[in-house]
Structure 1
Amino acid sequence: MKNNETRAHQILKYKGKEIIKYQLDRLIFGPGRNSYSYFGNFLEVANELHGWHYWYLLRTAYECADGIFIYREEVRESFIKNEPEKSSLMSAYEKRYLKSLGPIVQIYRGMTKTEAESGDFGVSWTLSLKKAEAFAFEYSRVHGTPEERIVLSLDIKVSDVIAYFSGSEREIIYIHNPEE
């Protein structure tokens, strides 16, 4: 196999989700790769992936990646892609939990003041004010000094949430429309 296209094509021939997940993971993880390359690695093979293969690898790459700010537009496009089986992006528990929140939910994002003023926000939000504050003021990979960072909150319709990822971050994937 000479390139990622060939590898992705070969992987999709195998049967059994666990085997396929392991092999899909090899497309983004492995020797010479690190958390700063994971999302770029996903983008290299994304057009060859379909259905749950696409959504599984998108989520995996996104959750494990660092420094995805440079892929800002590609991240948005990846999450809004019209690809079958989008419901596989979340577990059954995550879907139930999201539905249980009611029609409106408050979400938070730690960001720089520049990002807040621009209205051009990243897609990662959280249901936890404490977690947003940690990202804004304690997380070493956020740009700017603590004085240049803030926490923004929005009240949004749950129906506008692209995905909810359970775990310590209680992450909400949401694409803000500044015209709303």
Structure 2
Amino acid sequence: MLCTRLNAASVVLLAARGGLDDAEYAWGNELEPEAMPMASIWQGISVRSSKLKGAERTSAVGSFPANGHGLYDMIGDVWEWTTDYWSTSHPELARHSCCIPSNPRGGDPEASYDPRQPEIRIRRRVLKGGSHLCAPNYCRRYRPAARHAEPEGTSTSHVGFRCIKTLTG
């Protein structure tokens, strides 16, 4: 199904899936097919990494196989900012996973504040993709459909961004 109106988080989701609409992960339904890591995520239990020495942090671009669209590192390594403001739910039901309801360039900034902390007035944006700190037994946010709220201005070693180029023709 081709959608004509996509928000930023939907574009990232579509790209991350690599053409696999119903798979759990961007590369299929197994976390590590044939015991091979497919993305830079936490290895081992959440309190102790079993990654090889020197691979405990971010990895070089292209360290893992490309997805079905030929894109590298769409999952894991670092969380990626989107232009979308956070909301707990979409205002209307989606017809298909690629067709999250359109919104005015990323949602309502006023609705993005954390209701549990009313005294802190920092807008939150959507992060996608998970990071090298996401463990299978802890957060599992490296799935293409997963999203995470993060206050604007947050800076850590595992939050980054992806440049998007619009192709014409």
TM over 0.5: same fold? Answer: no
Give the TM-score normalised by structure 1. 0.23
- Structure with the bigger RCO (C-alpha within 8 Å, sep 6+) is 2
Normalized per residue, the structure richer in helix is: 1
TM superposition score normalised by structure 2: 0.24
